[in-house]
Structure 1
């Protein structure tokens, strides 16, 4: 009889499931399933009769997201659909001049590349920095020039799992009056993160990976001092100062991050993500980090013992929750198909196989997956 896939009460996963794919789409905790079930039951029985209570859940979600990124002001938190939308709000909201440059890395997920490349028609140049060097932060800093308007980087690269020192880059940007945007989708929920320590002007992250929430709801942090710098390209009833006054003819844009929320909120997603983040607050991010890093070290040790080629950094200060590897006598595509057929949920990324456990993943799940190699 196989060992359970999780011995954590919040993750009653089936015994034959070897889930190592939190860097893609994560399973929900039990409390999140219950929250969604209760919300659906409420809708079925009484509709939106208790909408004011829903708004309280929405406010709690903003507070939990503000806590998750270092205790920022909730007035700096907006709820958008996904990471791509958040990055597009920035890209399309700034006033560009021909010759302006946006600095990214050469390892970015398309979400953090395409919105900037789409500015080519306005004369904006995208500079891709090679991170496969001894000091990737210095490589980014060295790329900053007099035409650099914005730097947009993933805190953790999706393919290799490289953890960047965002504070070092953020300070360099602040000193040069360059905007700094952090794609935090591969760090929030995995490691502690502080937007102010990182000197970030913007932080964007969908909730369906390490935050253990649903797809379709994302954090959008915009530092208060930068909110008015973004021209709004979408307008609707929800983003104005007195959103409940439906008859007003003279309206003003909200004086906080709600100005970026065009229309009706994703209340189903709100209830789900709020429940998921409550687990992180109860545990504390230091506890989550310690649990995850113990599993990553166990995974690295096992891969090295089996002769795998590691494509991810192994130093503790360079890793989060992603380990990418390849096998000597098999293509990544072949390995992926073999693992998939054996019940391992993982991904083919970064030139190899990407395993991404979370803090609750049992060591036996990792060992069983390693045994299949």
Structure 2
């Protein structure tokens, strides 16, 4: 049995009268992460303290930290500003022939939808959208949509509105067997639960950092399988090229830095965001994703139990993520419920037809009780 973690609320600046069960929206920052950001801001306030190594050292440190979290090599990771940048990079480096198809799921976040529709229009491809299933059983429908005509399968580990699971191992195996590329947006998974790219074998896997990685905004990571590391980046700049460490150079080397670094975004050397991300990701690794998931699951299961007593529906246990759950009720206006709870300093999200609830290690059984009491009055 996985050892559970004690409450980590002391690491965050969350007032006692706030019940924040909304990590899938925006994570709060740990105190030490915020401190690292303030120190980084002071650097820019005093730019004469910024040395050439500051443009490179923290980039490589955060790259290595994230790679370790997902079982990758540092060479396999690019720094990107968003998940949409990552999926756009994937689309720019995957090939498809007219008449082939791209498999998506209904109601997926736009970052993993829009670029594929653009690609389909540009190349004459078909988009197969797997409809939302009853009971949250996505995997069978996705497997059935993948066939010999499939060029790309682009899916998440779970649906972002209600936490219903997708068996990525089965989907990836089916895609590989039929020669399709396998692209994953794991923004709503990595940091909260285990994921090993060596086992999963995606072609590309992207993760925005401001949710379950407990990082600041405008930062993400793109895993690129070695077979795609000779492709074309979205941007042409000097800091992903050999010789980037040479200050004041006026030549233009063509050779890229090794591995996925060619896909790094421009201005990757953010002296505020990167020190914050290093602190956050190193803490996530210390907690261990399996322990984090098991601990949060205790809270989500209590939320499910309390919600069902109030007449809410949820994905069944076997199809439910450990760290996020959607509560649904016929005739409910999720936006209205969210507003009324927020007036009492209880914070969740309305996504699609669901009340999406996403606790973390800073939450407690008392938070769950307060949430359920609020839902009894407003849900």
TM-score norm. by structure 2 comes to 0.90
> In the alignment, is the contact (CA less than 8 A) between 1:174 and 1:199 conserved in 2?
no
Report the counterpart of residue 251 of structure 1 in structure 2.
Answer: 254
Residue in 1 that maps onto 2:113: 113
Q: How does 1:34-183 map to 2 (within 5 A)?
A: 34-45=35-46, 47-53=48-54, 55-69=56-70, 71-119=71-119, 120-132=121-133, 135-183=137-185
TM alignment of 1:1-373, pairs within 5 A: 8-45=9-46, 47-53=48-54, 55-69=56-70, 71-119=71-119, 120-132=121-133, 135-228=137-230, 230-245=231-246, 246-265=249-268, 266-307=270-311, 309-310=312-313, 312-316=314-318, 318-327=320-329, 330-373=332-375
Q: 1:96 to 1:7 in 2, by over 3 A?
A: closer
Give CA deviations for 1:106-128 in whole Å, capped at 9, x if unaligned: 13111111010112132122111
Structure 2 vs 1, CA of residues 240 and 50 (structure 1 numbering), >3 Å: closer, same or farther? Answer: closer
Q: Secondary structure at the match of 2:72?
A: coil
Shift of 1:172: 1.4
* 1:270–1:249 Cα change, 3 Å: closer
Q: How many residues align?
A: 364
Whole-angstrom distance in 2 between the partners of 1:49 and 1:19? 37
Q: 1:184 to 1:7 in 2, by over 3 A?
A: closer
Separation in structure 2 between the aligned mates of residue 262 and residue 276 of structure 1, nearest angstrom = 21
Report the more deviating stretch, 319-328 or 339-348: 319-328
Between 125-134 and 140-149, the greater mean CA deviation after superposition: 125-134
Deviation at 1:201, TM superposition (A): 1.1
Secondary structure of the structure 2 residue equivalent to 1:367: helix
> d(CA) in 2 for partners of 1:359 and 1:165?
25
- Asked if structure 1 preserves the Cα contact closer than 8 Å seen for 2:153 and 2:182, the reply is yes
Following superposition, the deviation at residue 96 of structure 1 comes to 3.4
Deviation at 1:7, TM superposition (A): 6.0
TM-score norm. by structure 1 comes to 0.91
**Uncovered stretches (5+) of structure 2, i.e. residues with no partner:** 1-6
CA change 1:220–1:345 in 2 (3 A) is same
Worse overlay, 96-105 or 201-210: 96-105
Partner of 2:239, secondary structure, is helix
Please report how far the alpha carbon of residue 256 of structure 1 lies from its aligned counterpart in structure 2 after TM superposition. Answer: 1.3
CA contact 2:43–2:271 (8 Å) conserved in 1 = no
SS of 1:90 mapped into structure 2: helix
Cα 1:48–1:164 change in 2 (3 A) is farther
Q: Distance between the aligned counterparts of 1:294 and 1:182, measured in 2?
A: 27
Write the distance in 2 (CA, Å) between the matches of 1:50 and 1:232. Answer: 27
User: Which moves more between the two structures, 325-334 or 144-153?
Assistant: 325-334
**Structure 1: which 5+ residue stretches go unaligned?**
1-5
Distance in 2 (CA, whole Å) between partners of 1:23 and 1:249 is 42
The CA deviation at 1:47 is 3.8
Counterpart for residue 3 of structure 1:
none
Whether contact under 8 Å (2:209, 2:215) holds in the other structure is yes
Report deviation, 1:305.
Answer: 2.1
C-alpha distance in 2, partners of 1:205/1:233? 17
In structure 2, relative to structure 1, the CA distance for the partners of 1:330 and 1:203 (3 Å cut) is closer
For 1:67 and 1:255, the matched residues in 2 are separated by 18
Q: Which position in structure 1 is the counterpart of 2:3?
A: none
Deviates more, 1:50-59 or 1:253-262: 50-59
Match of 2:66, SS state, is: helix
Secondary structure of the 2:211 match is coil
Cα root mean square deviation, aligned: 2.0
